[in-house]
A = this chain, B = another copy of it.
Amino acid sequence: VSINPIHEPQSALPPTLRWVGGVEGYLELIDQTRLPVELVQIACREVDEVWEAIRALRVRGAPAIGIAAAYGVCLGVQSMIGENENAFFNRLSEAATRLASARPTAVNLSWALARMARVASALRGSAAVVQIADRLLAEARQIEAEDRQMCRAMGRHGAALLRDGQGVLTHCNAGGLATADYGTALAVLFAAHEQGTRLRVYVDETRPLLQGARLTAWELQRRGIDTTLICDSMAAQVMREGRVGAIITGADRIAANGDTANKIGTYGLAVLAAAHDIPFYVAAPSSTFDLAIETGDQIPIEVRDSREITHGFGRQVAPDGIHVYNPAFDVTPARLIKAIICEHGIIEPVTYQHISQMLANRRR
Q: A residues touching B (Cβ–Cβ < 8 Å)?
A: 36-37, 202, 204-208, 210, 213-214, 217-218, 221, 226-238, 240, 264-265, 267-268, 271-272, 274-275, 306, 309-310, 312-319, 321-327, 330
**Is A265 within 8 A of B234, CB to CB?**
yes
**Is A234 within 8 A of B314, CB to CB?**
no
Residue of A210, A233, A319 contacting most chain B CB atoms (<10 Å)? A233
Q: Given A36-B318, A213-B318, A319-B217, does the pair A206, B233 have CB atoms closer than 8 Å?
A: yes
Kindly state the separation between the CA atoms of A240 and B207 in the bound complex, as whole angstroms: 19
Contacts of A36 in B (CB 8 A): 316, 318-319
**Is B318 within 8 A of A214, CB to CB?**
yes
Contacts of A231 in B (CB 8 A): 207-208, 232, 264-265, 309, 326
**Is A213 within 8 A of B313, CB to CB?**
no
Tell me the number of copies of this protein: 2
Q: CB-nearest residue of chain B relative to A271?
A: B275
Contacts of A265 in B (CB 8 A): 231, 233-234, 236
Interface of A is mostly: mixed
**Is A233 within 8 A of B232, CB to CB?**
yes
Contacts of A272 in B (CB 8 A): 268, 271-272
Residue of A240, A265, A310, A324 contacting most chain B CB atoms (<10 Å)? A324
User: Which residue of the partner chain, among B234, B237, B267, B316, contacts A240 with CB atoms under 8 Å?
Assistant: B267
**Is A327 within 8 A of B237, CB to CB?**
yes
Kindly state the separation between the CA atoms of A36 and B315 in the bound complex, as whole angstroms: 11
Contacts of A330 in B (CB 8 A): 234, 236-237, 240
Q: Given A228-B323, A275-B271, does the pair A318, B236 have CB atoms closer than 8 Å?
A: no
Kindly state the separation between the CA atoms of A210 and B310 in the bound complex, as whole angstroms: 10
**Is B310 within 8 A of A313, CB to CB?**
no
User: Which residue of the partner chain, among B218, B310, B319, B324, contacts A221 with CB atoms under 8 Å?
Assistant: B319
Kindly state the separation between the CA atoms of A210 and B207 in the bound complex, as whole angstroms: 12
**Is B264 within 8 A of A233, CB to CB?**
yes
Contacts of A268 in B (CB 8 A): 233, 235-237, 268, 272
Q: CB-nearest residue of chain B relative to A312?
A: B313
CB distance from A325 to the nearest CB of B (A): 5
